[in-house]
């Protein structure tokens, strides 16, 4: 029997990142004034940092504990981040 790896949340930083995302404008013609008022979208993301480089954070929101499968992956450019808050995971059991 092959022993599977198990996810250990202490290996990764759990964070809340506040950042600004690019935002598409509606399709079709718009006035120049309306285009100039177009804004970015403020976003809050929570997850484990599974990779960090000079340019980006890669967050994973979910893990399957038994086999290191992950989902809800978000890659966020560091230049777009306003705040990174470390979170603590408490174990009630």
Domain coverage including residue 46:
1-22+40-93
Q: Determine, yes or no, domain membership for 27.
A: no
- pLDDT > 80? residue 14: yes
Yes or no: say if 41 and 76 are a contact pair by the CB < 8 Å rule: no
Residue-wise over 69-92: b if at least 16 C-beta within 10 A, else e?
ebeeebebeeebbeebeeeeeeee
Calculate mean pLDDT across residues 7-29.
Answer: 87
DSSP assignment string, 9-61: GGGSEEEEEEEEE--PPPSS---HHHHHT---EEEEEEEEEEEE-SSEEEEEE
Q: Is the pTM of this model over 0.85?
A: no
DSSP state of 87: -
Please report, for the domain that includes residue 49, its CATH number.
2.30.30
Sheet order of strands, 69-77 included: 69-77, 56-64, 41-52, 13-21, 81-86
- The count of domains in the chain is 1
Yes or no: say if 92 and 67 are a contact pair by the CB < 8 Å rule: no
Using pLDDT thresholds of 50, 70 and 90, give the confidence band for residue 92.
low
Calculate mean pLDDT across residues 81-89.
Answer: 93
Q: Determine, yes or no, domain membership for 2.
A: yes
Residue 9 has a pLDDT of 65
Calculate mean pLDDT across residues 36-49.
Answer: 94
Residue 28 has a pLDDT of 87
């Amino acid at each position: 029997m092959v022993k599977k790896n198990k996810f250990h949340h202490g290996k990764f930083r759990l964070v809340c990142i506040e950042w600004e995302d690019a935002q598409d404008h509606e399709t079709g013609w718009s006035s120049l004034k309306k285009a100039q008022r177009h804004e970015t979208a403020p976003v809050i993301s929570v997850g484990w940092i599974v990779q960090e480089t000079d340019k980006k954070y890669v967050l994973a929101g979910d893990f399957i504990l038994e086999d290191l499968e992950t989902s809800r992956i978000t890659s966020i450019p560091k230049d777009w981040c306003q705040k990174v808050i470390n979170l603590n995971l408490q174990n009630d059991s």
